[in-house]
Amino acid sequence: MKDTIIIGGGLSGLALADRLDRAGRDWLLLEARDRVGGRIAGLSYGGTSFDLGPAWFWPGQPRIAALAERFCITVFEQYASGATCYENTDGSVQRVDAPSAMAGSLRLAGGMRALVEGLIADLDPSRLRLETPVIALSREGDGITVTAQEGETLLAKRVVIAVPPRIAAGITFDPPLPDNALRALSTIPTWMGAVAKFVAVYERPFWRETGLSGDAMSRHGPMVEIHDASAMGGTPGALFGFLGVPVEHRATLRDQLADACLAQFGRLFGKAALTPVATHLADWAREPFTATDADHQPLAAHPAYGPPPALSGLWDGHLKFVVTETAPEHGGFTEGALAAAFSYDSSAAI
């Protein structure tokens, strides 16, 4: 019997595994995907990773700063010098000397994947089980039986669920969770659950040479908000944008959307934007281990995330939820994912 089984290998799950490991506790992590990192993923080119999920953090977020220091990851400021482009409904473009919307935000050399790589480098790989979706949890006596999709069963004293609450709601619980707990899981929106992000990489950030910051806002689309995503020092260069196309249309238009995104970069930043060295369209709404159908409606505002009282004390405290949506602070952010993991009482895992 394992002491603790962690379900989910995103940042919260990995940070918790790291805490348990450093405390000398027994643990096993099960991840449904063929990779760890969860919503942290990147497009690799030129020795760096360009973020397809979260990219920024901010001063006053100490946990991510401390991890970056621990793993010797260089922190640098988001590029914010130059004019902002505004694209009108007819596709015409205006340049405005306006402050960058993301001025003062911080990034990591090598992208957010550098945090993931730092964490797994210190963990025993035999304790990280990939391609192991969990479909059922059953409490029997002093243990919890964890059933994977392929029928394998594992036994643990405690289970920590580190996946978005709506994904967790798809697990079969025996005995069933209280109605208010199930209601909490199904109604907590998944951060990034409706997001699609297009990234284009270039040999250099040519837009900077013409006095542009890489920031753009558009009422024409398909991207509605665009920023500079270049590597530290500017090389390779990169741009990324958030798509404003509804989820229900994106799957059927995927190939056309990539072409339309490049065409939009061309309108905003010139012909050089039409010939990137690498591109990727990440549609998080289509990631079955990130979002559900209930997440497909874009969020109008940042949800008031926090630890729901209905999810505390379940199965006499042997079942916990540790993920950014249930974090005690900074919910929805990368810092929140760490805050959730750091709030878990690792001393209880004995």
Q: How far is CA 130 from CA 28, 44, 190, in A?
A: 11, 21, 22
DSSP letters spanning 206-274: HHHHTTEEEEEEESSSSEEEEEE-PPTTS-SEEEEEEE-S-HHHHTTTHHHHHHHHHHHHHHHH-GGGG
Q: What is the mean pLDDT of the chain?
A: 96
**Of the residues 289, 310, 338, the one at which a domain ends:** 289
CATH number at residue 307: 3.50.50.60
Residues 260 and 344 in one domain: no
Residues 142 and 260 in one domain: no
Q: According to the model, what pLDDT value does residue 128 have?
A: 98
Q: What is the pTM of this model?
A: 0.96
Q: According to the model, what pLDDT value does residue 98 have?
A: 86
Q: According to the model, what pLDDT value does residue 251 have?
A: 81
CATH number at residue 201: 3.90.660.10
Residue type, 276: P
Mean pLDDT over 254-265 rounds to: 93
* Distance of alpha carbon 168 from alpha carbon 161, whole angstroms: 7
Range of the domain at 344: 1-40+112-189+297-350
Max Cα–Cα distance, the chain, nearest Å: 68
Residues 61 and 76 in one domain: yes
**Of the residues 264, 289, 314, the one at which a domain ends:** 289
Mean pLDDT over 150-166 rounds to: 97
Residues 154 and 259 in one domain: no
Least reliable range by pLDDT among 55-64, 191-200, 247-256: 247-256
Residues 177 and 265 in one domain: no
Encoded tokens for 177:
């969770």
Residues 201 and 304 in one domain: no
Residues 148 and 275 in one domain: no
Encoded tokens for 331:
């919910």
**Of the residues 261, 289, 317, the one at which a domain ends:** 289
Residues 312-325: pLDDT tens digits?
Answer: 999 999 999 999 99
Residues 284 and 212 in one domain: yes
* Distance of alpha carbon 138 from alpha carbon 322, whole angstroms: 19
pLDDT > 70 in the chain, percent: 99
Q: According to the model, what pLDDT value does residue 203 have?
A: 97
Q: According to the model, what pLDDT value does residue 346 have?
A: 64
Residues 118 and 102 in one domain: no
Number of domains in the chain: 2
Residues 204 and 347 in one domain: no
Mean pLDDT over 163-186 rounds to: 98
The alpha helices in 28-148, defined as continuous H runs, are 62-70, 113-121
Residues 154 and 284 in one domain: no
119 touches 112 (CB < 8 A)? no
Of 155, 273, 145, 134, the closest CA to residue 210 belongs to: 273
Residues 20-36: pLDDT tens digits?
Answer: 999 999 999 999 999 99
Q: According to the model, what pLDDT value does residue 348 have?
A: 57
Q: According to the model, what pLDDT value does residue 121 have?
A: 97
Residues 119 and 254 in one domain: no
Mean pLDDT over 238-257 rounds to: 92
